[in-house]
Amino acid sequence: MRCSKCLLCLSALLTLLGLKVYIEWASEARLSKAYPGPRGTPPGPTPASSEPTLPANLSARLGQTGALPSAYWNQQQWRLGTLPSGESTEAGGCQAWGAAAATEIPDFASYPEDLRRFLLSAACRSFPQWLPAGGGGQVASCSVTGVPYLLLAVKSEPGRFAERQAVRETWGRPAPGVRLLFLLGSPAGRGGPDLGSLVAWESRRYSDLLLWDFFDVPFNQTLKDLLLLAWLGRHCPDVTFILQAQDDAFVHIPALLQHLRGLPPTWAQGLYLGEVFTQAMPLRKPGGPFYVPGSFFEGGYPAYASGGGYVIAGRLAPWLLQAAARVAPFPFNDVYTGLCFRALGLVPRAHPGFRTAWPADSATDPCALRDLLLVRPLSPQDSIRLWKHLKDPQLQC
């Protein structure tokens, strides 16, 4: 009699477990059907878990399972323990790491100047914040402003005043649970005008500029990502989601919030969401903005979300910093982010509402954007016009 009761209890438990598994599967299947990957993009692999891990040996995670290529990045990644954390003046510091690249890459002198400069300082990732003279402009921590559900981290450049103001007046306006910050390098520039006084005024006026003392050039975009993650660890560790976007993007905040709040918990915990590329390869034509010499890198890129705009889970910030210390530097920040996620055993999720190559003829069509989450590029004027159209109570599509 007692055995019969035990069997009955066991049967009931197994039934409940099966029902739970079915409900979770049905929920994810529904969302997958609602949000398929972009056309022409094969679906990426689905992670077995949303929990990140960082194995002692990253070679297999990063696709280096066959014969080791002779390209510099591949060789460096195979040997790399962790990147130097010391200052450039210390023995074996970050500048010494960069100098080794110049001596070990046989055709280094033929590389484009911007790529050479990147490699020479690529391991240098510790920079002080740039603060206006005379005080003011400090960006408050989340202990003062409140922890946001969604942090809008917008990458800009010192001279792009109009783009920042358009964001403030449109999709970056204050909203419950949402906070806006801009990420910039030094306004001193290189070979251009010193914008320090103008940026200082803007910083004191809005207190939403996170500035660091490094040259704001395209190959330094990764520094903005890493320094933001470090800032979050000190000042806003409990943020739920982070949107990283360019200042020429337009984000449909209500639609994005609705999507994020409807995600299954297993998706939300390891989220890396955007317009995903799964079969991208290095461009070998010299002179292009995304040129990668064969002596520097061999192989294909990992699955990654376009740097024009993507969302990550806030809880992954410290994990990404750990991964970045063990992934060899790469010149393109979105590819590098994909490498760091791959090192953690996580993959991006594609959403067709992210359009980072938005056609110019649809720039101000509110009906075309109504069901999307993020589009770019848009001029400041187009962003303002689009915002007004979307807010028009008479809008009919």
pLDDT in tens, 309-319: 999 999 999 99
Give the E-state strand segments of the chain in sequence order.
150-155, 178-186, 209-215, 241-246, 250-251, 272-277, 304-313, 349-350, 354-355, 374-375
pLDDT at 87: 54
> What number is the average pLDDT over the span 238-250?
98
pLDDT at 360: 76
In this prediction, what percent of the chain has a pLDDT beyond 70? 85
pLDDT at 86: 55
pLDDT at 36 over 60: no
- Within the chain, what is the greatest distance between any pair of CA atoms? 89
At 107 the three-state DSSP class reads coil
Cis peptide before 45 (omega within 30 of 0): no
Between 95 and 253, the higher pLDDT residue: 253
Over the stretch 330-357, which tens digit does the pLDDT of each residue have?
999 999 999 999 999 999 999 999 999 9
> What number is the average pLDDT over the span 275-283?
96
pLDDT at 43: 36
Over the stretch 5-33, which tens digit does the pLDDT of each residue have?
444 444 544 444 444 433 333 333 333 33
292 — pLDDT class (breaks 50, 70, 90): very high
pLDDT at 190 over 80: no
The lowest-confidence range among 7-21, 81-95, 160-174, 201-215 is: 7-21
pTM for the full predicted model: 0.86
pLDDT at 371: 84
369 — pLDDT class (breaks 50, 70, 90): confident
Residues ≥6 apart with Cβ < 8 Å to 48 = none
> What number is the average pLDDT over the span 244-272?
96
pLDDT at 393: 86
Over the stretch 47-70, which tens digit does the pLDDT of each residue have?
445 799 999 989 889 988 888 999
Tell me the CATH number of domain 142-353, given options 3.30.540.10, 3.90.550.50, 3.30.1490.20, 3.90.1640.10: 3.90.550.50
pLDDT at 9: 46
**Inter-axis angle of helices 161-169 and 196-206, nearest 10:** 10
Q: Are 302 and 336 in contact (CB under 8 A)?
A: no
Closest CA to 152 of 126, 174, 185: 174
Over the stretch 350-365, which tens digit does the pLDDT of each residue have?
999 999 998 877 767 7
pLDDT at 82: 83
> What number is the average pLDDT over the span 68-93?
78
Domain boundaries, the chain: 72-121, 142-353
Spatial separation of the C-alpha atoms in residues 366 and 380, rounded to whole Å: 15
pLDDT at 131: 85
pLDDT at 7: 45
